[in-house]
Amino acid sequence: MRYLFFASFVTLIIFTGCQSIKPPHLVSVSDQKSAETHLPTANCLLPTVNCPLPTPFSALTFDKALFKAALNIGEHHLTGLVFIKKMPDSGFLMPDSAIERVETHPTWLNSYRVVFSNEFGMTYFDIEIGTNYFKVNYCFEPLNKKMLWKIMKTDFRLLFASEEASEPSKHYVQDESNFLVYKSKQGELKRWDLFTSSGDTLVEIRGNSNIADQALITFTGYQNKFPLRITLVNSIIRLQFSLSLLSIN
């Protein structure tokens, strides 16, 4: 009986944990012709010299942004403000695969400082992230858990360090939504970027390195080419970090 319970538990973990972060209903496209068959309105589905990759979040033009924020982890609920500041080039090591792309996207050289504080101004965490660089400058003790930060590091790398990613290895069109989907590798992470069919608006980033750090980041309500709402979700640990834009420079 005890073994049956254990087997059921393992099966549950396997089934829930192995639920892939890969976007559903993807149709692989290998050339522009097959792309046009699936999505006739797409101007350029496969990146070429005349048809560059869509802009990732980290290449959007902004120096600093202030968000209203809510972090839910299981039953725990924290609210406050998130301040993101693009830092000048800190000379972080660039991966070879990114060098060529950096020349066409100079903003990718930047690193970011992300500070989350409560409404009274007390800091929950203060992190710095750049290409191949991640540092927790400060973390409020109850949040200072190694496992939590391993997972949140994946979230922040997907969001801010897209220059670590390789050129997309596969291209897809998602049925029904007609989103363009690019699959790439970002270090040990598998990464999917989903753009609208016109290819100019980032809708989702999905990625993970293992079962525990499966991340889904959604971008909604664009205004002046910047998302008004960004939501980071790690379903395995029931983490949701919601950011609503207050101001941007």
Q: Give the residue, chosen from 83, 172, 179, 195, that forms a contact with another protein under the rule CB under 8 A.
A: 83
* Pair 197, 214: CB distance under 8 Å: no
Per the CB < 8 A criterion, the answer to whether 76 and 122 are in contact is no
| One of 5, 100, 122, 176 touching another protein (CB under 8 A) | 122
Alpha-carbon dihedral of residues 102, 56, 190, 235, nearest 10 degrees? Answer: 150
The single residue among 96, 100, 141, 176 that binds another protein, judged by CB under 8 A, is 141
- Our finding on whether 121 is near another protein (CB under 8 A) is yes
Residues 3-32 that bind another protein (CB under 8 A): none
Residues near another protein (CB under 8 A), total: 25
- CB 154, min distance to another protein, A: 24
Residue 30's CB: how many other CB atoms inside 10 A? Answer: 10
Q: By CB under 8 A, tell whether 115 contacts another protein.
A: yes
Query: Cα–Cα distances in Å, from 223 out to 44, 127, 184, 191, 244?
Result: 24, 26, 27, 25, 12
Min dist. Cβ of residue 133 to another protein (A): 15
Applying CB under 8 A, which part among 17-25, 73-81, 94-102, 199-207 lies near another protein?
Answer: 73-81
Q: Is 223 in the site for another protein (CB under 8 A)?
A: no
Nearest Cα neighbor of 32 from 18, 44, 19 is 44
The alpha carbons of the chain give a radius of gyration, in whole angstroms, of 19
| Under rule CB under 8 A, residue 229 binds another protein | no
